[in-house]
Structure 1
Amino acid sequence: MSTIIKLPNAELAWRNERRFLRAMVDQVPDYLFVKDLDCRFVIANEAVARINGFASTDEVIGKTDFDLHDVATAEKFFEIEQRVIQSEQSIIDMEEVVVDAATGREKWLLTTKVAMRDHKNAVVGLVGVSRDITARKKEDLLRDEQAIVVEMIALNSPLDTILDRLVRLIESQLEGVLGSILLVDKTGKYLTHGAAPSLPPAYSQTIDGIAIGPNVGSCGTAAFRRESVIVADIANDPLWTDFRELAALHGLRSCWSTPILSHQGQVLGTFAMYSAAVRAPTDIETSLTQITTRTAAIAIERKVAQDQISYMAHHDMLTGLPNRSLLIDRLTQAMLQTERHNPWVSVVFVDLDNFKFINDSLGHTAGDALLKEVSKRMLDCVRSTDAVMRLGGDEFVILLTDLPENTDAISATLHKLRTAIGEPITIKEQAFHITCSMGVATFPHDGADPETLIANADAAMYKAKDAGRDGFQFFTAEINIRAHERLALLDGIRKGIARSEFHLLYQPQVDLKSGRIFAVEALVRWKHPVLGLITPIHFIPLAEETGLIVALGDWVLKEACRQNKEWQDAGLAPITVCVNVSARQFQDLNWTGRVLQTLEETGLSARCLELELTESLVMRDVDQAVAIMKDLQSVGVGFAIDDFGTGYSSLSALKSLPVSRLKIDQSFVRNLGDDENDRTIAAAVISLGQKLNMRVIAEGVETDEQLAFLRDNRCDEMQGYHFSRPVSSEGIEKMLQAQAPKTPDGTGKRRK
């Protein structure tokens, strides 16, 4: 017969309370513990037991952190807890990292530790509570890393670096998942390696270049279907028939792939997650996939756009040949190779004879077709080491490199070119015979620098024209006669500045929304006492080359500012006068001071002056350009990038420039009506400029069709013959009076 022991009511109540407290402490998901003065556990809840790899709390009691962690971690915990006990100062919300003994994974904890006192107020240990903040830390990491990736995209970091960091970011958020990004190649038929930092290199190399198709694993199929493909078990999925052994070799059992789509829906690549387990993705993994594909799409599209802009800046869009911007670089490199190895390099200037006749009789479409065919024939006539470039219109330059020291090889190539170009070309079912005139200058005999060689080849080409066309000429001493003519022109420029032979015309710039003139561009003209009116194309390059552009440019700036102030003094509404700045002026150390002095002398507000720089000028030394521009911008002077799109601009450099306006070069505006490439470039420049908070102005607008395109694409401003040719200062005054609100006296002028 068993004996029933009845406990006193007080002791029973105490035991019940203790059981209740234990149950309550163990139900709390946070880690709760009490330690004595020697930092030994005297109380711990089940959460503390689990994270330390124990089945019950009893196994924790009596142990110290030295029994549970590595020495370095234990010493850190002991030092902190002894400081709390001895100073009696609590530590609140301290972040710390521990390893979960059950899973081997790191966990972030937010810990509070306070000294514990007995009924006599003496410190007998400490109480600690830790909360698992691993998920929050991952979210913080995701947000911070996303910001870094976006910054890398904005700064034009290499695409492979961006994608690598993006994949690593996603892998850091998940356990047991390996990421991979594949990119669609130029043909649109294959997937190439983008980033896979954790996949076995041998696996990545094998799938590099896989086809896009209906049964090509997860990635090839996802790109083909344009939708996510989830393969939970590679070993039993028919999509992986051809790759099953490869996956098994590297321990990959599941693969979930999602296409990376552009904002227009074009497949740019795929993002895949691999796992060694047979499973489908979780909701978190699916969400992270969406983040990754969106970010990757932005990075890839940015790189594609940058490559396209760079290509368009360096290549002729009609023929695909390198353009003028690459000529100097290619020729300089060829000359350096020549100096090392002693062969010749020749510059061949090619101009098609009577090309204007075809354009005028059959139209530009036929002319473009002819230029494409001639370009192909030229390429067929030269070696892979040579280069064919189109300067514009019907002008080409051919670089012949690694030549023997005689003219025989050059002559043979020229004969071959002449014969090939002279073969009939059928356009609109009509056969045409086109001929060409060629001039040759050879390094080192005909020039020691690229500019001289090109100029001499050009001069020789004109000699071939004078000789009856359909032939070629080598540069000779006789052509130096033209050099004397240049000297005479140079002297004329110098004297013309002193004799006030130059004058300014002004071309209005119009706001496309309001139709009002808000600015004018100052354009210099020269009336020679003997030769009559000389256009800028004949004297500006020479002035630039010789340095006279500095004096001429200073005169233009001062006259334009003086005239603008005179308009304002006459009561007309203030407008901006835009003045072109040459490379020689911009590089002059005293130029900034002279601009400020001009504003002071003329009394014109700096806000009424805008200086136009070409993109090639700015890109020579971006840091120096930014410094100069900011100095003048600080007093109110505005800046515009002129002829945008004809040179090469780094987008990261462009966004750092203190520029308020971009000017679309008239070479792109001219053919907006019938050239899809020019329309694409113009639309891209408008979008780019406005996204960089710049206003965009198109120059050379001549037709209703061009104007309609610009308005449809929300271009801000325009100038060109469609509104007005360059006119005198009196002409501008009349235009401003006409658009001014009428005053009571009917003059349109403001009363002072």
Structure 2
Amino acid sequence: MSIVKNDLADNSLNDPHRLLRNMIDQVPDYLFVKDLDCRFIVANEAVARIHGFESPDDLTGKNDFDLHDASSAARFSQIERQVIRTGVAMIGMEECVVDAASGKERWLSTSKVPLRSANDTVVGLIGISRDISARKRDDFLRDEQTAILEMIVVNSPLHAVLDRLVRLMERQLVGVYGSILLLDDGGTHLKHGAAPALSQEYCGAIDGLPIGPGAGSCGTAAWLGESVIVADIASDPLWKNYRDLASRHGLKSCWSAPVLSHDGIVLGTFALYSARVRHPEPAEINLTQIATRIAAIAIERKHAEDKIRHMAYHDMLTGLPNRSLLTDRLTQAMLQTKRHNPWVSVLFVDLDNFKFVNDSLGHTAGDELLKTVARRMENCIQPTDAAVRMGGDEFVILLTDLPENTDAIAAAMHKIRAAILEPMIIRGREFHITCSIGIATYPQDGTDAETLIANADIAMYKAKEAGRDGFRFFTPELNIKAHERLALHDGIRRGIAQSEFHLLYQPQVELEFGRIFAVEALVRWNHPQLGLINPNEFIPLAEETGLIVPLGEWVLYEACKQNKRWQDAGFEPITMCVNVSARQFHDQNWTSRVMHALGETELDAKCLELELTESLVMRDVNEVIATMEELRKVGVSFAIDDFGTGYSNLSALKSLPVSRLKIDRSFLRNLVEDDDDKTITAAVISLAQKLNMKVIAEGVETHEQLTFLRENHCDEVQGHLFSEAVSSTEIGKLLQNQQSRSGLAPA
């Protein structure tokens, strides 16, 4: 026991005051006691160290104004005096202070409680603070990662996303400089992405750095597809050609990691530089991994956007610019013409007898021919010109900077014709394709892009009428025949704006019960001068010119609004069927247009059915299915219109999210007399029902047709036998009558 007592004596454990001092000095948290004037009475060594003192005794008698800047000191003092005055503790306040020893900011979680005497009088305060800097850094890292990912989602510019990412990494680490380089389209050079802390001179010097072995840390990492750590740039052979550059900018070490796509393709590099010769610490390696993952997401998103943008302005088959880009290029060319006074010409090119290739060898062979023609056209023109695919076998050549005569135009046109005429070997067969060309020139043949293209189109048709394999310059006389067509085109645009269009509705009836379960919205045009215009006249024109998109959007909105009116009037909900054109459906904003119409009219999506033509559905099955599924998820249903006329791929048909097939009226017209039509109609009904689809027959006009459809178990019918297309008021009467009796009987 004596030995123990001696040890206790040596360790001063028998001295309560020294024991207390040793205890508080060994606590890692910051402990202190202040008097009523907020001056330190007692503090442990942790408090002394953070304020830059060797001993806690050096703090005795000092207050916050002796230790902090005036603003921070005033804030701390106000809190402490409030605790002393009120006797109410302040618990868990987070505050930021500067560590006097290191100069770093530290975050503390501080509690301050009143110090009371034996008679419960407040005689000062006791404080304890815990360093929560690591937690705050983690919180900041998480919040910044979230913010950067949000920037990616809202399509912020890539350089802004990468710059913020690098700044985040630099803030998390000490004494390092971040850099992101992007691999170019050719996959051979690295270009500047973001490096906010590196000098512009250094960034400019490595912009365009070729990748490969021995190309520094970044060039080698991109070449190998794996991380490269160089602890000493001055002695590492990878930096042989760049060590002087690094030395001039005080860079001693560089650790680079490749930025990889989700499938392992190198997109660029993320690097950290240090002004000291050293290896990276584990925290730096971990943050590098985080940075490369986020950078990969941002870069892949940008690549996807670029691809989508390219798809929006280029033809998917040939890679040529499409109609949208042509309008922009032509407008720009005409503006340049006004300044420099050369001509601009549009050559509208249509391949002669292209259908023969498709019919004899199939669409794949036809596609190969179109791609070959596209390449030949591009090889015939100058870099300032453009070859454009309008669709099908129609192309446009834009010629710019021409002298004010037709010789240069004729020379270019003959060169193009000769190139197209060269033999093509497709599927082992030799083809000679000719073309018909229409030519319109700015400014004499049109002063805007749309007119110029239209006039070249008119001239091309005159070349075809003259026997094909020829060309025709546009003349004012050709425009006379197109005048009515152009007037209709302008009229459609004006008619939408001035409410000249209206909707009629034709009931669709369940055969079993005779109940109206849906109506089809049909657009009509009451022209102020020409009167009621047949839809067969203005719908194809609207399709061709693109006006079907705003017209179709108006139809969709009006139809949804009317269906909601019937429901609000107390009628049992029915389905509104709206026809969708190919141009509408493939418009990039189509899904949002449908959702907007439903939202604005407050119509339940389950009360809307969109009718797609068979040819539209089969054009690009995967793209169509994706769009349909997006709308089907919210309740919108789909029907295939005019079924039987588009040569459907039945294997594709079964994968479509379609509720109904609509038998084309052409099969019903001669149904009673034509055995082939009977066979086809019965087969369609059987096929659809095996695919769990309803079948509706349109154009039902006779009792004989109705009898055949009943006998073959057709589900639904539509046609004049039950009702022609009528106004919304008449539909209301039919629905009212239906609610008071069993259904709608044939007329």
Give the TM interval when normalised to the shorter protein. 0.7 to 0.9
**Alignment partner, residue 54 of structure 1:** 53
Does residue 703 of the first structure (1) align with residue 649 of the second (2)? yes
Q: CA deviation at 1:239?
A: 2.6
Residue correspondence of structure 1 range 636-675 to structure 2 within 5 A: 636=605, 669-670=618-619
Alignment partners' CA distance in 1, 2:363 and 2:128? 81
**Alignment partner, residue 728 of structure 1:** 698
Q: CA deviation at 1:333?
A: 2.9
Alignment partners' CA distance in 2, 1:364 and 1:152? 43
**Alignment partner, residue 6 of structure 2:** none
What residue identity is the alignment partner of 1:283?
P
Q: CA deviation at 1:323?
A: 0.8
What residue identity is the alignment partner of 1:605?
P
**Alignment partner, residue 103 of structure 2:** 104
Deviations 1:349-380 (A, max 9, x none): 11112222333334444433332332233223
**Alignment partner, residue 279 of structure 2:** 280
Change over 3 Å in CA distance of 1:329–1:294 after alignment to 2: same
Deviations 1:494-537 (A, max 9, x none): xxxxxxxxxxxxxxxxxxxxxxxxxxxxxxxxxxxxxxxxxxxx
Alignment partners' CA distance in 2, 1:576 and 1:401? 52
Alignment partners' CA distance in 2, 1:63 and 1:735? 104
Alignment partners' CA distance in 2, 1:141 and 1:573? 61
Residue correspondence of structure 1 range 318-333 to structure 2 within 5 A: 318-333=317-332
Deviations 1:127-168 (A, max 9, x none): 211111111111111111111111111111111111111222
What residue identity is the alignment partner of 1:703?
N
Alignment partners' CA distance in 2, 1:668 and 1:305? 25
Q: CA deviation at 1:461?
A: 0.3
TM-score under structure 1 length normalisation: 0.74
Residue correspondence of structure 1 range 318-397 to structure 2 within 5 A: 318-397=317-396
Q: CA deviation at 1:716?
A: 8.1
Deviations 1:297-350 (A, max 9, x none): 222211111211221121112221101222222233333444455443322211
**Alignment partner, residue 184 of structure 1:** 183
Q: Give 3-state SS (helix, strand or coil) of 2:279's partner.
A: coil
**Alignment partner, residue 528 of structure 2:** none
Alignment partners' CA distance in 1, 2:428 and 2:633? 48
Does residue 563 of the first structure (1) align with residue 507 of the second (2)? yes
**Alignment partner, residue 502 of structure 2:** 554
Change over 3 Å in CA distance of 1:695–1:173 after alignment to 2: farther
**Alignment partner, residue 463 of structure 1:** 462
Change over 3 Å in CA distance of 1:109–1:366 after alignment to 2: same
Alignment partners' CA distance in 2, 1:704 and 1:553? 37
Residue correspondence of structure 1 range 579-598 to structure 2 within 5 A: 582-585=548-551, 592=557, 595-597=560-562
**Alignment partner, residue 215 of structure 1:** 214
Alignment partners' CA distance in 2, 1:223 and 1:418? 46
**Alignment partner, residue 314 of structure 1:** 313
Q: Give 3-state SS (helix, strand or coil) of 1:53's partner.
A: coil
**Alignment partner, residue 23 of structure 1:** 22
Q: Give 3-state SS (helix, strand or coil) of 1:113's partner.
A: strand
Does residue 605 of the first structure (1) align with residue 606 of the second (2)? no
Alignment partners' CA distance in 2, 1:441 and 1:554? 37
8 Å CA contact 2:591, 2:627 repeated in 1: no
**Alignment partner, residue 232 of structure 1:** 231
Deviations 1:665-713 (A, max 9, x none): 96795477xxxxxx7x679x569959998989898782246458x68xx
Change over 3 Å in CA distance of 1:584–1:209 after alignment to 2: closer
Q: Structure 1 vs Structure 2: percent identity of aligned residues?
A: 51
What residue identity is the alignment partner of 2:126?
V
Alignment partners' CA distance in 2, 1:425 and 1:385? 27
**Alignment partner, residue 494 of structure 1:** none
Q: Give 3-state SS (helix, strand or coil) of 1:48's partner.
A: helix
Alignment partners' CA distance in 2, 1:208 and 1:664? 52
Q: Name stretches of at least 5 consecutive residues in structure 1 with no aligned partner.
A: 1-11, 491-540, 643-662, 673-678, 741-750
Change over 3 Å in CA distance of 1:218–1:664 after alignment to 2: farther
Change over 3 Å in CA distance of 1:669–1:139 after alignment to 2: farther
Q: CA deviation at 1:485?
A: 6.4
Alignment partners' CA distance in 1, 2:628 and 2:228? 35
8 Å CA contact 1:701, 1:718 repeated in 2: no
Alignment partners' CA distance in 2, 1:738 and 1:181? 64
What residue identity is the alignment partner of 2:573?
S
Q: Give 3-state SS (helix, strand or coil) of 2:93's partner.
A: strand
Q: CA deviation at 1:100?
A: 0.7
Point out the more displaced range, 43-52 or 311-320: 311-320
8 Å CA contact 1:549, 1:584 repeated in 2: no
8 Å CA contact 1:441, 1:453 repeated in 2: yes
Alignment partners' CA distance in 1, 2:614 and 2:178? 44
**Alignment partner, residue 747 of structure 1:** none
What residue identity is the alignment partner of 1:282?
E
Alignment partners' CA distance in 1, 2:247 and 2:121? 64
Change over 3 Å in CA distance of 1:568–1:272 after alignment to 2: farther
Q: CA deviation at 1:631?
A: 0.9
8 Å CA contact 1:665, 1:698 repeated in 2: no
Alignment partners' CA distance in 1, 2:219 and 2:609? 47
What residue identity is the alignment partner of 1:74?
A
Change over 3 Å in CA distance of 1:364–1:583 after alignment to 2: closer
What residue identity is the alignment partner of 2:454?
A
Q: CA deviation at 1:408?
A: 3.2
Alignment partners' CA distance in 2, 1:371 and 1:665? 24
8 Å CA contact 1:611, 1:639 repeated in 2: no
What residue identity is the alignment partner of 2:238?
L
8 Å CA contact 2:255, 2:272 repeated in 1: yes
**Alignment partner, residue 403 of structure 1:** 402
Residue correspondence of structure 1 range 442-521 to structure 2 within 5 A: 442-483=441-482, 486=485
What residue identity is the alignment partner of 1:563?
P
Does residue 34 of the first structure (1) align with residue 4 of the second (2)? no
8 Å CA contact 1:610, 1:638 repeated in 2: no
Alignment partners' CA distance in 2, 1:153 and 1:457? 44
Q: Name stretches of at least 5 consecutive residues in structure 2 with no aligned partner.
A: 1-10, 524-546, 641-645, 664-683, 689-694, 717-741
Deviations 1:456-515 (A, max 9, x none): 211110111112222211112332352366499x6xxxxxxxxxxxxxxxxxxxxxxxxx
Q: Give 3-state SS (helix, strand or coil) of 1:178's partner.
A: strand
Residue correspondence of structure 1 range 522-541 to structure 2 within 5 A: none
**Alignment partner, residue 503 of structure 1:** none
What residue identity is the alignment partner of 1:307?
D
8 Å CA contact 2:345, 2:400 repeated in 1: yes
Alignment partners' CA distance in 1, 2:102 and 2:181? 32
Deviations 1:66-92 (A, max 9, x none): 222223322332233233323333322
Change over 3 Å in CA distance of 1:364–1:621 after alignment to 2: closer
Q: CA deviation at 1:595?
A: 4.7
**Alignment partner, residue 66 of structure 2:** 67
Change over 3 Å in CA distance of 1:625–1:30 after alignment to 2: same
Deviations 1:31-69 (A, max 9, x none): 111122222211111110111112221222222222222
Alignment partners' CA distance in 1, 2:636 and 2:269? 37
Change over 3 Å in CA distance of 1:235–1:398 after alignment to 2: same
8 Å CA contact 1:40, 1:61 repeated in 2: yes
Alignment partners' CA distance in 1, 2:75 and 2:584? 58
**Alignment partner, residue 171 of structure 2:** 172
Alignment partners' CA distance in 1, 2:381 and 2:698? 50
